[in-house]
Amino acid sequence: MRIFSIIFTLITALFITSCSDESSPIGQDFVVAFKNQSVDFSTIENQESIQLIFSKVAEQDGQVHIKISTELANYGTDFSTLPASSQNELIIPFKKGDTSVNFSFQNLIYPFDRSDKKVQFEITKIDYPQAIIQGYSIVSISFDRSIGGTISPEIGGPNQPNQVYVDLSKNAQTKVRRDSWDLGFYNGSYFRVELNGSLYMATKALTETDITKVTRASVNSLLNEVAVGTFADSNKEFIDHPTGDILKTAIAEIKDNDAENPVYLLNLGYTVGTSTPAAGSAAIAGDQRGWKKVRFLKKSGQYIIQYADLDDKTYQEKTISKNGTHNFTHFSFTTNNTVSVEPEKLKWDINFTVFTNLIEGNGSYGYSDFVVNNTKAGVKAYRVNVANGITYDNFSESNIDESKFDSDQRIIGDSWRQVTAPQSLFTDRFYVIKDTENNYYKIKMLAFLNASGVRGYPKFEYKLIK
């Protein structure tokens, strides 16, 4: 039974402090908050829309008063707003029927000239009956680092076609198709090659070193063995170790002596699924992508890859250079070339992805809704259980325990949602992340379904600790 068809029905915990609800009774409190807690100034080349959200549909016209505070930043020189401010105050009108309103922050000095500037907008008054200021009442334009906010990684719904890399300090995400690459060539000191585990790839070293002598007939007995999800404990040898340890890739360290580098049988895994599953379920895997035979060599500090289909009598060869700005240089058999995948290694902290993990005694297994942290660039994490008065809201710098940080990239992993009955999002835990810039953030998962109960729409909140 293929693991990729297992259906997980999940229940979500939605939103933070306010949401739009057109059925709210007349007279119920009208809550206004900023959608995000901070915006990174360096990402605003021209202007950025700053959104305020309402707890329900406005039943009459009104307006929101917003105070502007600055540190070392000057209105009209460094930034401006639309509408314009008067005496450091913005008045933002809204109409009956609105569920949100916004104003424009305009950057006048991109790129910025110093990192110790700050612009802050604070909701001070709402001209509307029974109005309440609650949730994110302040949004900061940070010239240094994000102080937090909410992010909804765009993994693409129940087929989860995208891998999404998140830079917490920049409050930014980068999405790529998870089928856009096959192999990652490590740019560090080792000569190691990673598999695209989001496609459930697997590989096995053969005794042969001549790629032209490997045929489908010669490896036929291995085709049912070298795969993810066979429920045989031995198949853990065919995948990269899921901790992310670069010294435990399925493809061994490439040797200086060419004669010591074997041919590998490579299972390309599965295409991205295209079927539409029932609400709450995922459809990750599509058709089988087939097989390759590959061999890896190195020369003058560069990688050499030889590859072909199983019955080909000739092979293609590519030279791949190392690039120190990224963890890996990625390669695609579809384009027969290197492709852009990860952001620079210091510009992402966590990645939302489909993932190949291990189940004790049953070997490799495919997971959806998985989160890994960028251990190869030094990002570490640990889980905090809500107990003994410690909660996400009151967790502060004094609570940080350096001894608990772990270099396993799966600290968040799938531990933020429960897939066995009663299926739910865990609310008794959150996570502490030490990012690539040694900023400390706390992270709380908020959802993995959208409002219609469809899988593949995660959301999380995070806040800067120090």
Per-residue tokens: 461? 């909140």
Contact 342, 161 (CB under 8 A): no
Q: What is the CATH code of the structural domain delimited by 30-135?
A: 2.60.40.2030
- The single-letter DSSP state of residue 373 is E
CA–CA distances in Å: residue 381 to residues 167, 244, 247, 432:
15, 14, 20, 5
Choose the weakest-confidence range: 24-33, 217-226, 237-246: 24-33
Average pLDDT over residues 205-232: 96
pLDDT, tens only, 309-361: 999 999 999 999 999 999 999 999 999 999 999 999 999 999 999 999 999 99
Q: What is the pLDDT of residue 116?
A: 74
Average pLDDT over residues 42-47: 81
Q: What gap in Å lies between CA 128 and CA 142, rounded to an integer?
A: 30
Average pLDDT over residues 126-142: 91
User: What helix, strand, coil percent values describe the chain, rounded to 5?
Assistant: 10, 40, 50
Average pLDDT over residues 69-96: 94
- Which residues lie closer than 8 Å to 221 by C-beta, 6 or more apart? none
Q: Where do the structural domains in the chain lie, given as residue ranges? A: 30-135, 149-177+345-464, 183-339
CA–CA distances in Å: residue 336 to residues 144, 161, 326:
40, 21, 20
- The single-letter DSSP state of residue 260 is G
Contact 311, 213 (CB under 8 A): no
Q: What is the pLDDT of residue 320?
A: 98
Write down the mean pLDDT value for the chain: 90
Q: What is the pLDDT of residue 26?
A: 42
